[in-house]
Amino acid sequence: MSDTQAVVITDATPDDCDAIVRIHTASWRFTYRGSLRDEYLDGDIETAKYDQWSKRLAVPAINQKIFVARGNNTALGFACLYTHHNADKGHLLDAIHLDPSVKRVGIGSALFKAVVAYARTIPPAAGLHLYVNKSNSGAHRFYDAQGGVIIGAFDWHAPDGSVVPRLIYGWQADYLSHASAR
């Protein structure tokens, strides 16, 4: 994709399932290499992802919102939000992934902005949080650039059987309520 190509963010529909599975699978294989076992990443992870996203798209939780970023009518990335997921930490950004070939041209920022703009419309005002692997330094720099701060840590029992250290990034409700001005 060229830097100048327009990116459009829309709500996901069940027709986006195959594209979301493709992007999620490619992103895990690229991003989690070295964190999750090679045998797992190189195996059939599509089936579990298809199961996950087909269910989410067919029978959405009442607080779920999935966004798709498209360029030239092709899905390039997605984000999945659960509003008011946690009484203290607020909304949960459960996933944000791009096709690895289109990183670092602003699509993640456009998705994040859409997530925040939507979250702000769902009262009461709340913060936002997400989980990120401790080794995923590129994503840390991205969340830093979006104004996030580290608010916790835990061990993730990953689906390949390994235990992966994770960080919790958070944004205060006050920060989100002024985010559109930034």
Ligand X SMILES: CC(C)(COP(=O)(O)OP(=O)(O)OC[C@H]1O[C@@H](n2cnc3c(N)ncnc32)[C@H](O)[C@@H]1OP(=O)(O)O)[C@@H](O)C(=O)NCCC(=O)NCCS
* Least distance between ligand X and beta carbon 16 (Å): 16
Residues 58, 13: Cα–Cα separation, whole Å: 8
* Least distance between ligand X and beta carbon 124 (Å): 26
If binding is defined by CB under 6 A, does position 135 make contact with ligand X? no
Q: How far apart are the first and last CA of the chain?
A: 26
The 10 Å Cβ neighbour count of residue 9 is 19
Exactly one of 25, 31, 35, 83 binds ligand X (CB under 6 A); that residue is: 31
Exactly one of 24, 97, 120, 129 binds ligand X (CB under 6 A); that residue is: 97
Residues 124, 6: Cα–Cα separation, whole Å: 33
Considering only the stretches 12-20, 44-52, 100-108, 154-162, report the one whose residues sit in contact with ligand X under the rule CB under 6 A: 100-108
One-letter amino acid identity for 11? D
Question: Residue holding tokens 């769902």?
Answer: 122
Exactly one of 14, 34, 43, 138 binds ligand X (CB under 6 A); that residue is: 138
Sorted by sequence, the CB contacts under 8 Å of residue 163 that are 6+ apart come out as 155, 156, 157
Exactly one of 8, 61, 125, 145 binds ligand X (CB under 6 A); that residue is: 145
Size of interface with ligand X, in residues (CB under 6 A): 20
* Least distance between ligand X and beta carbon 123 (Å): 26
Residues 13, 66: Cα–Cα separation, whole Å: 8
Of the two residues 107 and 126, which places its CB atom closer to ligand X in the complex?
A: 107
| Interstrand relation of 90-98 and 128-133 (parallel, antiparallel or unpaired) | parallel
If binding is defined by CB under 6 A, does position 132 make contact with ligand X? yes
Sign of CA dihedral 145, 146, 147, 150: negative
Exactly one of 96, 128, 167, 179 binds ligand X (CB under 6 A); that residue is: 96
Q: List the structure tokens of 3.
A: 């830097």
Which of the 8 DSSP states describes residue 101? G
If binding is defined by CB under 6 A, does position 109 make contact with ligand X? yes
Of the two residues 69 and 124, which places its CB atom closer to ligand X in the complex?
A: 69
Question: Site residues (CB under 6 A) for ligand X?
Answer: 27, 31, 96-98, 103-109, 130, 132, 136, 138-139, 141-142, 145
